Amino acid sequence: VISGIHHLGVATDDLAATVSRYRRLLGARVDHEAVVVDQGVRAVSLAMPEGPAVELLAPTGPDTPVGRFLERRGPGMHHVGYLTDDLLGELARLEGEGAELVDATPRSGLFGLQVAFLHPGTLHGVLTELVQPERGSVA
């Protein structure tokens, strides 16, 4: 079952400035920070009193997935992350429905999450991530 929106992913080329602005203008609180070198991303998860988190993503260099996204599209909305308690089962179901999977099998994502992405073409131009918190995860 996909039970709700877990977070919204936003791409930025200046992580510190973006964090500062989200805190000042929206009252967001920094929840987690991470650098994932092999995925080429620095990330900050922001929490609001209610609702999904905002995951700010900055590239570690131009030749990374987020770096290429910024080159093509500029800063802004990057993906929507949906929460599931059965990532493997949902991937199998979605594949059966004809969804185009970026990740055929779950992989380790940010903040101790198991994740898998669906191609934007599957959901009308929106890169979509399925998220399952690992047991004992902070997220």
Which residues in this chain contact Co ion in the complex, by CB under 5 A? 9, 55, 81, 129
- Cβ proximity to Co ion: between 30 and 96 the closer is 30
The pairing of strands 53-59 and 2-11 is parallel
| Residue 73 three-state SS | helix
Least Å distance, CB 129 to Co ion, is: 5
**Smaller CB separation from Co ion, 15 or 98:** 15
Residue 78 Cα distances to 55, 57, 128, 138, angstroms: 9, 9, 9, 23
Give the nearer residue to Co ion in terms of CB position, either 59 or 81: 81
Sort residue 136 into left (φ over 0), alpha (ψ -120 to 50) or beta. left
Q: What is the smallest separation between the CB atom of 109 and Co ion, expressed in angstroms?
A: 6
- CB nearer to Co ion: give 98 or 125: 125
Centre a 10 Å sphere on the Cβ of residue 98 and count the other Cβ atoms it contains.
7
Instruction: Give the residue with the Cβ less far from Co ion, 37 or 98.
Output: 37
Q: How far is the CB of 108 from Co ion (least distance, A)?
A: 12
- What minimum distance in Å lies between the beta carbon of 128 and Co ion? 10
Measure the CA–CA gap between 83 and 3, rounded to whole angstroms. Answer: 6
d(CA 38, CA 31): 22
Q: How far is the CB of 7 from Co ion (least distance, A)?
A: 6
